[in-house]
Amino acid sequence: MPELPEVETTRRGIAPHLEGHRVTRVIVRERRLRWPIPEDLDVRLSGQRIERVERRAKYLLIGAECGTLIGHLGMSGSLRLIEAGLPAAKHEHVDIELDSGLALRYTDPRRFGALLWSLDPLNHELLRKLGPEPLGEDFDGERLYQLSRGKRVAVKPFIMDNAVVVGVGNIYATEALFAAGIDPRREAGSISRARYVRLADDIRRILAQAIDCGGTTLRDFVGGDGKPGYFQQELFVYGRGGEFCKVCGSTLREVKLGQRASVYCPRCQR
């Protein structure tokens, strides 16, 4: 599933080609995504000027003059720029054609993504209860420490809770916990303030590094320019269960936490 760095990579790739341009036509070939694409999306969006392309958590917000298109890439979705009129292949569900001659094409083999319309996107039911951005000023180790008090849930699903902090998905939670030396199975409430300060710093550092690398390509993700990310070359533990730890040489172990596979080093992480 595309995580925050992949969504931010997409945003940075498409924004310069969308902002300031008008939508000339919207072609919807398949409306049945996670939630149905609005029947009148073409009417609402066509003719409007795109004013901004922003991100909130894993949602892309394409702000037009009279509303905002909320996009989510789901499990396997991508948004990339093509020449308008290029024939569509299977799973290429939506084209948003622009006055520049380009089109933003949405592709989603599994159809778990979404394209929704809102007049007040930050108060949309999908966004209004989200926690702070991990790269923003409202997120730090003190927040993690205070929210974790009395929590018996394991620390990994705790930091993946979007009410605590947004966008820390499986890949980056696994890597940040390794960097901070914290066993992902530890109860969230048992971890000290000092260790949460380090964990918050590592979350920010790893997410920023992943964005600089264009995200992580494990299956389907490509950026807005159609190119894959390469942060997977920097992974220390994610997806490496049974292999040797790059730091100490111990065999990495894999467990299930919150229905997700979690890999950790029994020597480096306590």
Active-site amino acid positions: 2-3, 58, 260
Structure tokens at 134: 């991990």
> Any known ligand binding at 110?
yes
Phi and psi for 144 in degrees, rounded to 5? -60, -45
Structure tokens at 262: 């979690």
Contact 164, 203 (CB under 8 A): no
What strand order describes the sheet that includes 92-98? 23-28, 92-98, 102-107, 78-83
H helix intervals, 36-140: 41-45
Separation CA 265–CA 255 (nearest Å): 11
The residues, ordered by sequence, that sit 6+ positions from 158 with a Cβ below 8 Å of its Cβ are 147, 148, 151, 164, 188
Phi and psi for 234 in degrees, rounded to 5? -100, 0
Cα-based distances in Å from 193 to 137, 165, 183, 198, 270:
18, 17, 15, 9, 15
Separation CA 219–CA 162 (nearest Å): 23
Helix (H, G, I), strand (E, B) or coil at 222: coil
Separation CA 63–CA 81 (nearest Å): 17
> Any known ligand binding at 91?
yes
The residues, ordered by sequence, that sit 6+ positions from 83 with a Cβ below 8 Å of its Cβ are 101, 102, 103
> Any known ligand binding at 21?
no
28 sits in which H/E element: strand 23-28
Binding residues for DNA: 91, 110, 151
Binding residues: 91, 110, 151
